[in-house]
Structure 1
């Protein structure tokens, strides 16, 4: 049975990091064409049937166990090639995009869901709340929307299909190279050559796999190595530590150390002494 609900929200609810204005379910949604996109993020999960999403000039198949994640204001269209069942929710708030990126939802597209039950439960829960006819249910529906986004980061970031193909197994030679050469000057191009890809493609693989850029990961590795040195060799200076883990200047080392650990190298050593 088709159903959809549009929520009444207070100003307090629109300040939440994630909230929703509408939820719904289609037993068979007709062809939808949005030449100017939609004003919010959307998540649409396919429970049965087959359809297609057209976005950025691509035609992407939608099958049971996949979801369409759509970015705001991006032209797109989708339709069922046979009767298809969709559950959907609109997503607003300052943390929707950061959580989406954390889940690997880097662009509008179709994403395979390895564990759909918890995600579908959030959608159905929000629908039930919205249809309850109780006043001011926006907060409860927004809690379901936030839980949905958190579980997307939990389940989708585990990877499947194309995401898994670009996962940490393929990057293991790069991780090994960093472990061996972290104390040296290492370039992005040098890391890309390890697995025979371009520097740009290496960045894509890193973002999909561990949600970091290659040099960000390398610097975190250097910070970890620096902590080991400071705790094992109590008399070594911060300047020497920074040199031994591959930083060109002690100032840059201290800046990244504080950004990562929330304290300076000297205080870290003191607190762990």
Structure 2
């Protein structure tokens, strides 16, 4: 049995960064044609199979996939199996466009592969439950849940199968371990790509997408962490030796990177720590 929520939207609701317009669970999806587009929509396949046409392209939406439709984007979708059961959420808000384009990097409507579909279903179910409650601040709770669903989208949805941030993180775990264990040695892109099992160029792209920083920035952060341990546990060790043991061949470059990370020079960092331990 399908359920639908159609909340009354006030002018104050429209001032929220995210707000719910419509939602449904276990919906037997009908044929929809919108030449002028609509609001933002998340439509997740539960059972069956459908076809999405948008942006001059068509794609199948099966179990384990969902559609994300941008506001105002023309689209059409329909079942290609005897029934097409979906969960869906229509939403809007003045922060949605910025989040999708800048934070999530999803700049166009289309189908997405979903690695944790149960999380999205649970969010929509919570939205439906709040609609049946007597909670006084429903709009704020709904706004929070829409934002949470968008965060899940960043982590667990991707235009390519097995390419969500969570799956990529698992794929890169051997590389994270390798860097941690070998940060004191010279590390080349070729050898790290071999550990990850991908090409050097693809490694740079995947690593940036997964961690939101470049791979050598990450290596610097690991080395600086190691250098801080050495500085604190070896008060008489020369800075040159700390640099070498941390993976920096040039002590001057080490000091520059350290100060960028900590806003202190290595000597200042060590001096502050020991002044605190003596006070």
User: Structure 1 length as normaliser, TM-score?
Assistant: 0.67
Distance change (3 Å), C-alpha of 1:110 and 1:151: closer
C-alpha contact 2:61 2:111 (8 A) present in aligned 1: no
- SS of the aligned residue for 1:141 comes to helix
Aligned-CA RMSD value: 4.6
Distance 1:163 1:135, change over 3 A: same
Residue of structure 1 in register with 2:47 after alignment: 48
Alpha carbons 1:5, 1:131 under 8 Å: kept: no
Aligned counterparts, 1:144-183, within 5 A? 144-149=145-150, 156=156, 162-163=162-163, 167-168=168-169, 170-171=171-172, 174-175=175-176, 177-179=178-180, 181-183=182-184
Q: Give the paired residue count.
A: 259
Q: 1:255 to 1:208 in 2, by over 3 A?
A: closer
C-alpha displacement of 1:227? 2.4
Please say if residues 9 and 136 of structure 1, whose CA atoms lie closer than 8 Å, have aligned partners that are also in contact: no
Asked if structure 2 preserves the Cα contact closer than 8 Å seen for 1:7 and 1:137, the reply is no
Gaps of 5+ in 1: none
Name which structure has the greater RCO, CA cutoff 8 Å, separation 6+: 1
Q: Which residue of 2 aligns with 1:88?
A: 88
Change (3 A) 1:12 1:76: closer
Which of 106, 111, 114 is residue 112 of structure 1 equivalent to?
114
The Cα shift of 1:50 comes to 0.7
DSSP-derived class of the 1:167 partner = helix
Change (3 A) 1:15 1:111: same
Gaps of 5+ in 2: none
Contact conserved, 2:29 with 2:78, CA < 8 A, in 1? no
Deviation at residue 20 of structure 1 after TM alignment = 1.9
CA deviation profile, 1:160-211 (whole Å, cap 9, x unmatched): 9523796356435544553455345655466436556444411332245445
Counterpart of 1:143?
144
CA offset digits 1:58-92 (Å, max 9, x no partner): 65432234333445666765432123122222254
Change (3 A) 1:8 1:166: closer
Superposed, 1:1-273 pairs within 5 Å as 3=4, 5=6, 7-11=8-12, 14-16=15-17, 19-25=18-24, 26-32=27-33, 40=40, 42-54=41-53, 59-70=58-69, 77-82=76-81, 83-89=83-89, 90=91, 92=93, 93=95, 96-97=99-100, 101=104, 109-114=111-116, 116=118, 118-127=119-128, 129-130=130-131, 137-149=138-150, 156=156, 162-163=162-163, 167-168=168-169, 170-171=171-172, 174-175=175-176, 177-179=178-180, 181-183=182-184, 186=187, 188=189, 191-192=192-193, 195=196, 197-207=198-208, 209-236=210-237, 241-242=242-243, 244-246=245-247, 248-258=253-263, 265-266=269-270, 269-270=273-274, 273=277
Alpha-carbon offset, residue 140 of structure 1? 3.0
